[in-house]
Structure 1
């Protein structure tokens, strides 16, 4: 009978490998939602078909354990393209804070995918791990920035979380401390557990109130669903780090 730890490991791998399928579906649903008010999609249709096809191929390769590392790296490259596109594409007609939220979430998912690729690299080369840790650190720093410098994110947090600014300061300290640990590569296992709790809390109490984001802040429904899905992937990634990565600590002379 499988132990609880083994079931958790299987669950994280299952979710990480199926995420490309979720991304493909939600992307098409978002474009379909926007099509009601647009005569031409904000991204070249041929590019959409190519990326959706690559999402599906990468998902199959990752799920079937065939060239899993390479497929995950290709998928991370696709996420990098969309992170850049979502922020710079003026045809989307999203406000600055929306574009920053979308690009930031993509950076976090890229980091987790690269760390997953590292775990599936037989040689366990350090480049993927260092790049993944750095991107996760940047993502956490951006989360702290958004929570304190973006009016919409700040109001959303204060609307859903009791404790006012003191709660916001506590979450900010958690984000910044975690960002420092990931950028330096130290205490990853311990800080990943803290971020599992923090990410689950923020997803459950702030991000999951879809009506708040769509009605009050006028986000597209499927755009917010995509952000929630990104959060779930990042949460899964933190569980993976807690289970598979050790604590790198400073050694005194």
Structure 2
């Protein structure tokens, strides 16, 4: 009988275990969806404006601002999807999210109450912080300053959400905003603020900081999932409170974007370790042949 040799793997992916392959595929699907987040944002923006057009003669925001936001959303989504100038695309997406928060806080034509303006502005800033974490996906490390900046923005938003979720009025902010937007059980959102104070734990030699950063990511994902399913999915309730249907749909999109970005950012150290070991194993098998 002729001896049959095992063919050498062509890529490091062939050296992964079935469980590791599943994890890498899940990360690829997640990154695929996040890269097209700008397209989803543009669709929600147009549907929201179309919903308001049925009862208003003029747009609540200046048309050039609307065109500018839609253009940046589409261009950034195209850049991230094609991996062409992806870093500039992320910066543009973050800038437009911060500007969107400013518009929702200051535009008088929206006609929204202060609690709804805060609700939209905080989520826009959270998405901006989440977008920064995408810049580290090709580096297989969360030690870069952009990941720290993303964690810092998410931690800042989460800290504000947690502060407003206290059962008593801790600040002089509008009481109506506190009653409508936050519940005391959402104090878990403060966990993501660990990144804000500790910095990046995965690049530190201190194992305690590494575990603390991982715990912050897990608790933050849990808190955002609870907020997504227990509160933001109640379309009937929020429509009775005066929230437009497609504006609420955008809030759901923001929640999902933040959750997926935290999952991708927290998985970078694991992905880097798995990739390095698989490439070493691939090189060993090629040398044997």
Which TM bucket (shorter chain)? 0.7 to 0.9
Q: Give 2:224's aligned residue.
A: 199
Q: Give the superposed CA RMSD.
A: 2.2
How much does 1:232 deviate? 0.3
Number of the residue aligned with 2:64: 46
CA distance, structure 2, for counterparts of residue 79 and residue 42 of structure 1: 18
Determine whether 1:189 maps to 2:214: yes
Q: Could you report, residue by residue, the CA deviation over 1:113-146 in whole angstroms, capped at 9, with x for unpaired residues?
A: 1121243479988432232121011111122134
1:202/1:123 CA distance change after superposition, 3 Å: closer
Rounded to whole Å, the distance in 1 between the matches of 2:136 and 2:26 is: 19
d(CA) in 2 for partners of 1:245, 1:116: 14
Which residue matches 1:138?
Answer: 156
- Would you say how many aligned residue pairs link Structure 1 and Structure 2? 231
1:226 matched to which residue of 2?
250
- 1:177 equivalent in alignment to 2:191: yes
Give TM-score scaled by structure 1 length: 0.84
Offset at 1:6? 0.7
Indicate the structure (1 or 2) with the bigger Cα radius of gyration: 2
For 1:70 and 1:195, locate their aligned partners in 2 and report how far apart those are by CA, in whole Å: 27
Structure 1 stretch displaced more, 108-117 or 195-204 = 195-204
Question: What whole-Å deviation, never above 9, does each CA across 1:144-184 have from its counterpart, x for those lacking one?
Answer: 13433511124xx5xxxxxxxxxx34x31x22233133343
Whether the aligned pair in 2 keeps the contact of 1:70 and 1:117 (CA below 8 Å) is no
The answer for unaligned runs of 5 or more in structure 2 is: 1-17, 170-177, 202-211, 271-289
> In the aligned structure 1, how far is the partner of 2:94 from the partner of 2:87?
11
> Please, which moves more after superposition, 237-246 or 71-80?
237-246
Check conservation: 1:79, 1:106, Cα contact below 8 A: yes
Question: In 2, distance between residues paired with 1:99 and 1:44?
Answer: 17
CA distance in 2, matches of 1:68, 1:229: 21
The aligned residue for residue 13 of structure 1 is 31
Gaps in structure 1 of 5+ consecutive residues? 158-167, 247-253
Give the alignment of 1:139-158 within 5 angstroms: 139-148=157-166, 150-154=178-182, 157=183
Normalised TM-score (structure 2): 0.74
Tell me which residue corresponds to 1:239.
263
Task: Specify which of 51, 57, 60 is matched with residue 78 of structure 2.
Answer: 60
Structure 2 CA distance for aligned equivalents of residues 223 and 183 of structure 1: 32
Bigger drift between 98-107 and 3-12 goes to 3-12
**Which residue does 1:79 correspond to in 2?**
97
Name the counterpart of 2:287.
Answer: none
